[in-house]
Structure 1
Amino acid sequence: MFLYLTAGTSDFMEMLQKKYDKENMIVLYSGDQSLLMHHTDGKTKFATPHSFSIVDSKGEFTDRGFFTVTYVDIFDDRAAIFEERLKSKDFGFLKEPGFIAYKLLKPIKATTFAIIIQWSGPDSYYAWKMSDAYKHDFDFMPENIAVDHLPTTLSVAPYTKEYMTTPSDNDDTEKN
């Protein structure tokens, strides 16, 4: 399975979703920018997507909820190590109230992995983010690293973007 991401204005992303209504696409809203996810076992309809293979997955995304997308840029020669480490990890968020689904995405022609987690709402995400489980689950994030330098697998500091599935609920969803 593959997951493709493309970004643009809400109007344009909604137009693409309507145009390809038979495809599995979800529009995610965050301020002025929106993200359109296309989940398929074939080719995408997007002209210039960020293309990923799904290498680990728990649950299935729904078209309602709160999404976080964590981008982790890995040195090419360390990608397999990072992927295996995450695939073998016993994630605490899987047991958190409000958790819906998770996908670990390996880039097809790039070096930036994406970790997408869907929650029932932002409160569930923030409760997990304040927990010890977050420190264990996302020990590669800058706020969870005990030293002043990145692990040797990372080329730049990872970051997370937050999204809602409804445009009216996205006023404060972008917190990096």
Structure 2
Amino acid sequence: MNAYMTNGTYDFLQKLPAEQPSIDFFFMHDNANTLVYCEGNFKKNVFAAGRSYEAVTASGDLNKSGFVVMNNIPVSDDGKALFEDKFKQRQQMVESEPGFQCFRLLRPKKGNTYIVMTQWASEADFNNWKNSDQFKQAHKEGSDVKPPAYFLERPFLTSYHMIEENE
């Protein structure tokens, strides 16, 4: 399965479903930006200016409501296999958490920045997981001051609230 996303103004992006009615678009926003995400096995990127990924692993269904967290992790070419293996193992640690909706490990088709995406029923559910023993166990080796050797740069988080159709 492939995943695609792009950023832009909500007014511009909200035209996409009418232009491509066969695609299920997911709209989300943070304080300043709107992001549109879709999944499928399309032959090419559905966005003129978007990012393309391959879903290495996926669980759960993305919902039109909830809270999305994307951990953006630049990974070196020689560290990709190890990185993917570690995240495949960690995936199960989050799936049983209250409020969990979906997990995606997205490998970039261009560039080196992977996205580890989770969706939660609410921001409070994510924060509860972030403060849980499960989270601490899953991120145990990430607590070092120095990131693992396969990280090209420091990872960074982006978070979004889903834009529900009636908003």
The amino acid that maps onto 1:13 is: L
Query: Following the alignment from structure 2 to structure 1, what is the Cα–Cα distance between the partners of residues 140 and 50?
Result: 28
Matched residue of 2:147: which SS?
Answer: coil
Query: Following the alignment from structure 1 to structure 2, what is the Cα–Cα distance between the partners of residues 83 and 158?
Result: 15
**Which segments of 5 or more consecutive residues in structure 1 lack a partner in the other structure?**
168-176
Matched residue of 2:84: which SS?
Answer: helix
* Structure 1: 4+ residue segments shifted above 6 A: none
Aligned twin of 2:118 = 117
Matched residue of 1:81: which SS?
Answer: helix
Query: Following the alignment from structure 1 to structure 2, what is the Cα–Cα distance between the partners of residues 2 and 136?
Result: 30
Alpha-carbon offset, residue 155 of structure 1: 0.9
Aligned twin of 1:63 = 64
- Cα deviations across residues 46-103 of structure 1 (Å, max 9, x unaligned)? 0122110011011111111111111110011111110122113353221111001111
* 8 A contact 2:91–2:103 mirrored in 1: no
Alpha-carbon offset, residue 21 of structure 1: 2.7
Identity over aligned pairs, percent: 26
* 8 A contact 1:10–1:32 mirrored in 2: no
Query: Following the alignment from structure 1 to structure 2, what is the Cα–Cα distance between the partners of residues 152 and 36?
Result: 32
1:1-176 pair list within 5 angstroms: 1-42=1-42, 43-89=44-90, 91-139=92-140, 144-146=142-144, 148-166=145-163
Query: Following the alignment from structure 1 to structure 2, what is the Cα–Cα distance between the partners of residues 72 and 122?
Result: 21
* 8 A contact 2:64–2:163 mirrored in 1: no
* 8 A contact 1:98–1:124 mirrored in 2: yes
* 8 A contact 2:4–2:46 mirrored in 1: no
**Which segments of 5 or more consecutive residues in structure 2 lack a partner in the other structure?**
none
Alpha-carbon offset, residue 23 of structure 1: 0.3
Matched residue of 1:89: which SS?
Answer: helix
Aligned residues: 164
**Normalised TM-score (structure 2):** 0.90
Query: Following the alignment from structure 1 to structure 2, what is the Cα–Cα distance between the partners of residues 125 and 52?
Result: 24
Matched residue of 2:6: which SS?
Answer: strand
Matched residue of 1:157: which SS?
Answer: coil
Kindly report the root-mean-square deviation, in angstroms, between the aligned alpha carbons of the 2 structures: 1.8
